[in-house]
Amino acid sequence: MIQKNKWAWAWVPTLYFTQGLPYVMVVTVSVIMYKKLGISNADIGLYTSWLYLPWVIKPLWSPFLDLIGTKRNWFLFMQLLVALSFLAIGLTLPTNIFFITTLACFWMAAFASATNDIASDGYYMIGLTEEKQSFFVGVRSTFYKLANVTGQGLLVILAGFLENYYGDNTKAWSVTMIAAAGLMLLFTVSNAIFCPKFESSKAIVLDKPNSFLEVFTSFFKKPGIGMALAFILFFRLGESQLVKMASPFLLDPPEAGGLGYTTAEVGTIYGTIGVIMLTVGGILGGILISRHGLKKWFFPMVLSLNIPNAFYAFLAITETSNLGAVVTTVILEQFGYGFAIAGFMVYLIYIAEGISKTSHYALATGFMALGMMLPGLISGYMQEWLGYDGFFIWVVLAALPSLILLKYIKYPPEYGKKRAS
């Protein structure tokens, strides 16, 4: 019989760090890099948003991870492939066709990262009991976001330092991407050491689908799945656009409507206080759900995700570049994101309950990625059309669909609550 919860504190943090790092490098750090290399906002929003596609369509191949091999082997191989993709980006940046070659490498990293997500999430759901899944959802979301902050914080700080050191943005970002490859490889080795090989257990057979087609039909037959998918699609409608244009907003000069911060300053803001508040928000969200269940906290969590968008609108409208105001905005954004995503991930785990939970979770997160990709595709055009002030007002209004749909989705009120011994 499978031994649940084995060595969880050793492998949950590193597993989700290596899930978060490639994601943030592909969808967020690429934005900053291309901005510093002279690509327009419209092209940045369009081409980097298409990089969400692998996360959208990953359910198409998720059953193969159930049917072939172990999830541990899958995520270790995918993490290695991501490291090689980052290395290739670093080596091809100095070429004359860097935009095409680096986009191709980001695509390879995106497909590998999406597959890594499927395997990692399946490993997590198989290896932990329901109450431990709820408890550790704060830990996993925190380390996932810590990886994000490492990417858009520490690595961006490094890039900013190297920009000044070399006087050459291309060389600076080349070295930075090679450093990201080394970091990814280091954590891949860590996962190889600390993730238990428990998938040889006969109990794992219960999680395998009967057929490829059965995975999809059983998912769409779940009660209330239509409303659930609508909520998943709209949950991050505002954030999906904010995340694309927040860094350009901070980096653009005042005459373009931005705040005129340097690359290193943007990295520092996200990589210091933001890390602390993110950690607090993510862990607090997981603890509160494990104590009281999802129902009590889901509405405050949705609010915490969207209220900080209004502070970005305030900065843009008033043209406030005051460091205290900017840091406060990032604090609220990071805490709110960590707090909200803890609840959202517990809800996705609930949606995936039953046989084929790995593939069903991949389907749920695929719809989540679609909800990130589609608004992101137009974010750059919306910003150029409305200006930063009008754009952030639009982002604030984009919170309304998720707040309305939250009232109509169904789930056990105490789902995720730790059971009494």
Q: Tokens 């700080």 sit at which residue?
A: 157
**Predicted local confidence at residue 228, as pLDDT:** 95
Residue 176 has pLDDT above 90, yes or no: yes
**Predicted local confidence at residue 202, as pLDDT:** 54
Strands, E assignment, 145-285: none
In CATH, what is the architecture of 16-404?
A: Up-down Bundle (1.20)
Position 298, amino acid? F
| Segment 136-165, tens digit of pLDDT | 777 887 788 788 878 888 899 899 999 999
Mean pLDDT of 185-192: 94
Using the 8-state DSSP alphabet, how is residue 151 labeled? I
Q: What percent of the chain has pLDDT over 90?
A: 49
pLDDT bin (cut points 50, 70, 90) of residue 311 is: very high
Residue 201 has pLDDT above 70, yes or no: no
pLDDT bin (cut points 50, 70, 90) of residue 106 is: very high
DSSP H helical segments within 53-129, as ranges?
53-57, 62-67, 71-92, 98-127
Mean pLDDT of 2-16: 78
* Residue 385 token pair: 């059309």
Q: How far is CA 48 from CA 33, 174, 250, in A?
A: 11, 18, 18
Q: What is the pTM of this model?
A: 0.73
**Predicted local confidence at residue 163, as pLDDT:** 94
Nearest-angstrom CA–CA distance, 253 and 66 = 49
**Predicted local confidence at residue 421, as pLDDT:** 38
Report domain extents, the chain. 16-404
Using the 8-state DSSP alphabet, how is residue 59 labeled? G
pLDDT bin (cut points 50, 70, 90) of residue 8 is: confident
| Segment 241-290, tens digit of pLDDT | 998 888 889 989 999 999 999 888 888 887 667 777 877 888 898 889 88
| Segment 27-80, tens digit of pLDDT | 889 988 999 998 888 888 888 888 988 988 888 888 888 778 888 899 999 999
DSSP H helical segments within 253-356, as ranges?
263-271, 273-292, 294-306, 308-318, 323-351
pLDDT bin (cut points 50, 70, 90) of residue 420 is: very low
Residue 1 has pLDDT above 50, yes or no: no
| Segment 325-349, tens digit of pLDDT | 999 998 999 899 889 988 998 899 8
The more confidently predicted of residues 189 and 8 is: 189
CB 223 within 8 A of CB 410: yes
Q: What are phi and psi of 360, to 5 degrees?
A: -70, -35
**Predicted local confidence at residue 406, as pLDDT:** 94
Residue 205 has pLDDT above 70, yes or no: no
**Predicted local confidence at residue 200, as pLDDT:** 61
Terminal Cα distance for the chain, rounded: 21
Mean pLDDT of 121-148: 78
